[in-house]
Amino acid sequence: MGEQVGQKPKRELPRSRVLVAEQTAKIYRDAFAAKARGEKVGWSTAIFPQEICETLDIPVLYPENNAASISAKHLGGELIEHAEGAMQYPSRICSYARLNMALADKIQDPAYSKADPLMPSPDFLLLANNSCTQLMKWYECLSRDLGIPIFFIDCLFNYYEEKPAKHKITYIRKQIEKYIWDMEAFSGKKFDWDKFLEVQKRSQINSKLFDEIIRLNMRTPAPMSGFDFFNYMSCLVLARGKESTTVIFEQLKKEVEEHIANNTTTFPSEEKYRVHWEGIACWPNLGHNLKTLKNYNVNAVINGYVTAWNVDYEPGDLDSMASAYASSSTNSLSTNTIMNMRADTIENYNCDGMLCHVNRSCKMMTFHIFVGRHIIEERTGVPCANFDGDQSDERIYSEAQFETRLQGLVEIMQHRKEANHG
Amino acid sequence: MFTLGIDIGSTACKAVILQDGARVEARAVVPLGTGTSGAGDVLQKVLAVKNRQIEDMERILVTGYGRFTFAGADSQKSELSCHARGVNFLFPSVRTIIDIGGQDIKAMRVNAKGFLENFVMNDKCAAGTGKFLDVMARIINVKVNDLGEIGLKATEEVNISNTCTVFAESEVISKLSAAVRIEDLVAGIHRSVAKRVASLAFRNGIVPEVAMSGGVALNKGVVALLEEEIKRNILVHEDCQLAGALGAAVLAYEELHK
């Protein structure tokens, strides 16, 4: 079929994006195939030591990542309604939780096919509470409803220190060791410590590669629209220990370096302003966010969310791994630590402002902004603006509100640029 | 030289004609918001004050929720910048502006030239906005413009929730059925607005002097209680409701002289 008159031709996806789609599809396909063979399949929180199931070759899918994908396709509304209606969950809990618990209920009917991507029903759950305490209730509900076990790693928060204290590291390391033994017993598979070391090394290669790629956006103008990074996060969530992720990141790095060499960018308009995006993406409203940012020539060159998956540790050192899982999510850190990290990033990426997504679902992430905004303003001198939204619940977002606040932020940034240039 | 600023808000349209960027020649308010005939009506009304023609306007700048849809605009700006410039025109010493509009609350800090330095706005909730007062006035069966005077006659305040317009509405209905004095009820409503707005202003930081803009600034009851809450005097100009339109006219003039 030929191209329709008047329709804007779709931009061809870069090779790296094609590879991401292929990898994601394969991971989901493999999970369904394992389930069909009668093997165990897990669901896991996003920042869990995924290296262990990777070593044991047990398929694991990630509800948070899955909920984001479903929401970005505008398929989450019906599931959220099911959670709030038939399942009687309140609208005030996390929308990822509502969406996922509804999906877990719906997929018990083999004929159900509306959500995309679908996940096979899990046989076990992997839970680390390093990014959110509500995860514990969410997974407890799944465990009860489905009658399946939870493998839980309790991560103490680091409110009073920048790095996890020694006793916390020991506490988490011992839980990781126990989890390995428990998972051996549960799966009936022998844990291969040599393979584990290789998976750890691969995880580190991938984390560091992604970090290098993101840092390329420090350049002005940036070679990438910051929103593009959202498309690659799934590699670190779903497949941090896989070689296929290395192939994707090497391809992506090549593409970004080509943009730098050719002085081109994936940002779809002139980059007049650079901002730090704070908070999780508004997945159902990503299109409106990007279109409005483009119209005001604002590139959200960096955000703290995409860097949350860089779990940085020394392969072979379980203490180091425990420490990394205790502090990778900024939600496990103090406001002071997070806001100083953000201020560093704002300076390093030469940002003119900070645009904060007040995410109705993720109060932990959002409230740091309310109490820590002055740290950003005092340290960096850049203005901050907030807007309301949600990671999955479309009802929270207002297009007019987003545009007014972005425009207000742009007018401040514009005035400051003009004042600085005499 | 004349410039025209139009503020197409959610519940009212306002317009100001400015002469040479310095003198207000005409002003008009129409109590109809965006998506109605309000924008066209306010244009006709402001031009009629001194029998001007649209062609006499060197530049037209539009702000407010309807800023993208007004056909005759030369440019548009956010209501944040327009309120900042408008209040600066009225009160050059002001550094903090609190604007309560039909559906927005804004707390803004501005510099000596009236440029916006920072701002916070309410979340997606009508509590504390002009719409909140409209709803309450309707239930009590008084005119919204009369609320201010009524509230000042209170002898005690009835406690009203400030978290949600719908909850507050049912609360007010239950108080009415308990036969509380209307004046005391209105004062309680004003207190709930004042507390909500004060928390937003504190979050943005309050630097003296403080002024209010927007239609709710005309409500003396709200202003008095907000002064109590933020523990500072609040300047209110008689043209406070026109601050956005005035700022738009100032910015239109500046755009011509860039």
Per-domain residue ranges for chain B?
1-91+242-258, 94-236
Cis upstream peptide for A122 (omega within 30°)? no
Fold (topology level) of B94-236: Nucleotidyltransferase; domain 5 (3.30.420)
B120 touches chain A (CB under 8 A): yes
A113 touches chain B (CB under 8 A): no
Residue A162 lies inside a defined structural domain of this protein: yes
Query: Is the CB of A388 less than 8 angstroms away from the CB of B116?
Result: no
Query: Is the CB of B78 less than 8 angstroms away from the CB of A407?
Result: yes
Domain limits at A133? 15-196
Q: pLDDT tens digits, residue range A266-324?
A: 999 999 999 999 999 999 999 999 999 999 999 999 998 777 777 899 999 999 999 99
Rounded to the nearest 10 degrees, the angle between the axes of helix A63-72 and helix A95-106 is 90
The partner residue sitting opposite A411, judged by closest CB among B65, B77, B205, is B77
Confidence of residue A1 (pLDDT cuts 50, 70, 90): very low
B80 touches chain A (CB under 8 A): yes
Smallest CA–CA distance, residue B131 to chain A, in Å, is 16
Report the C-alpha gap between B246 and B7 in whole angstroms: 9
CB pairs under 8 A between A and B: 43
Residue A363 lies inside a defined structural domain of this protein: no
Query: Is the CB of A407 less than 8 angstroms away from the CB of B116?
Result: no
By C-alpha distance, the chain B residue nearest A409 is: B118
Question: Considering only CB atoms, which chain B residues are within 8 Å of A398?
Answer: 124
What integer pLDDT is reported at residue A5 of this predicted model?
47
Query: Is the CB of A386 less than 8 angstroms away from the CB of B81?
Result: no
Q: pLDDT tens digits, residue range B160-197?
A: 876 677 777 888 888 888 888 999 999 999 999 999 99
Question: Is pLDDT above 90 for A218?
Answer: yes
Confidence of residue A10 (pLDDT cuts 50, 70, 90): low
The partner residue sitting opposite B121, judged by closest CB among A377, A405, A412, is A405
Could you give the ipTM of this predicted complex?
Answer: 0.84
Contact A333, A256 (CB under 8 A): no
Using alpha carbons only, how large is chain A's radius of gyration in Å? 21
Q: What is the DSSP string of B32-61?
A: --TTTTHHHHHHHHHHHHTT--GGGEEEEE
Question: Is pLDDT above 70 for A2?
Answer: no
Listed range (A110-119, A201-210, A361-370) with the worst mean pLDDT: A361-370
Smallest CA–CA distance, residue B51 to chain A, in Å, is 34
The partner residue sitting opposite A415, judged by closest CB among B115, B123, B203, is B115
Residue A93 lies inside a defined structural domain of this protein: yes
Residue A252 structure tokens: 């992506």
Domain range B1-91+242-258, CATH architecture: 2-Layer Sandwich (3.30)
Query: Is the CB of A386 less than 8 angstroms away from the CB of B116?
Result: no
Contact A417, A381 (CB under 8 A): no
What single DSSP character describes residue B31?
Answer: S
In chain B, which among 31-70 make CB contacts under 8 A with chain A? 65
Q: Rounded mean pLDDT of A167-180?
A: 96
Listed range (A154-168, A243-257, A347-361, A373-387) with the worst mean pLDDT: A154-168
Nearest to A338 by CA among A294, A300, A379: A379
Q: Testing the interface with A: which of B65, B118, B206 to mutate, by most A Cβ within 10 A? A: B118
Nearest to B120 by CA among B211, B56, B200: B200
Residue A355 lies inside a defined structural domain of this protein: no
Report the C-alpha gap between A60 and A30 in whole angstroms: 10
Query: Is the CB of A396 less than 8 angstroms away from the CB of B124?
Result: yes
A377 touches chain B (CB under 8 A): yes
By C-alpha distance, the chain A residue nearest B77 is: A407
Smallest CA–CA distance, residue B177 to chain A, in Å, is 31
Question: Considering only CB atoms, which chain B residues are within 8 Å of A407?
Answer: 77-78, 80
B121 touches chain A (CB under 8 A): yes
* Tally of domains in chain A: 1
Residues in chain A: 422
Q: Testing the interface with A: which of B116, B122, B163, B200 to mutate, by most A Cβ within 10 A? A: B116
Q: Collect the ranges in chain B with pLDDT lower than 50.
A: none
Query: Is the CB of B120 less than 8 angstroms away from the CB of A358?
Result: no
Neighbours of B138 (CB within 10 A): 12
The partner residue sitting opposite A411, judged by closest CB among B116, B121, B203, is B116
Percent of chain A topping pLDDT 90: 84
In the chain, the amino acid numbered A79 is L
What integer pLDDT is reported at residue B210 of this predicted model?
98
Q: pLDDT tens digits, residue range A109-127?
A: 999 999 999 999 999 999 9
The partner residue sitting opposite B80, judged by closest CB among A384, A396, A408, is A408
What integer pLDDT is reported at residue A9 of this predicted model?
57
Question: Considering only CB atoms, which chain B residues are within 8 Å of A368?
Answer: none
What integer pLDDT is reported at residue A8 of this predicted model?
56
What integer pLDDT is reported at residue B178 of this predicted model?
85
Smallest CA–CA distance, residue A388 to chain B, in Å, is 6
Question: Considering only CB atoms, which chain A residues are within 8 Å of B118?
Answer: 377, 383-384, 412
CATH number of the domain encompassing residue A100: 3.40.50.11890
Report the C-alpha gap between B15 and B239 in whole angstroms: 11
Contact B127, B140 (CB under 8 A): no
The partner residue sitting opposite B116, judged by closest CB among A374, A377, A408, is A408
Place of tokens 């046989």: A123
Question: Is pLDDT above 70 for A7?
Answer: no
Q: What is the pTM of this model?
A: 0.90
Question: Considering only CB atoms, which chain B residues are within 8 Å of A396?
Answer: 124
The partner residue sitting opposite B118, judged by closest CB among A383, A388, A404, is A383
Residue A364 lies inside a defined structural domain of this protein: no
Q: Rounded mean pLDDT of A5-28?
A: 85
Q: pLDDT tens digits, residue range A42-93?
A: 999 999 999 999 999 999 999 999 999 999 999 999 999 999 999 999 999 9
3-state per-residue secondary structure call for chain A:
CCCCCCCCCCCCCCHHHHHHHHHHHHHHHHHHHHHHCCCCCEEECCCCCCHHHHHHCCCEECHHHHHHHHHHCCCHHHHHHHHHCCCCCCCCCCHHHHHHHHHHHHCCCCCCCCCCCCCCCCCEEEEECCCCCHHHHHHHHHHHHHCCCEEEECCCCECCCCCCCHHHHHHHHHHHHHHHHHHHHHHCCCCCHHHHHHHHHHHHHHHHHHHHHHHHHHCCCCCCCHHHHHHHHHHHHHCCCCHHHHHHHHHHHHHHHHHHHHCCCCCCCCCCEEEEEECCCCHHHHHHHHHHHHHCCEEEEEECCCCCCCCCCCCCCHHHHHHHHHHCCHHHECHHHHHHHHHHHHHHCCCCEEEEEEECCCHHHHHHHHHHHHHHHHHHCCCEEEEEECCCCHHHCCHHHHHHHHHHHHHHHHHHHHHHCC
Report the C-alpha gap between B60 and B45 in whole angstroms: 15
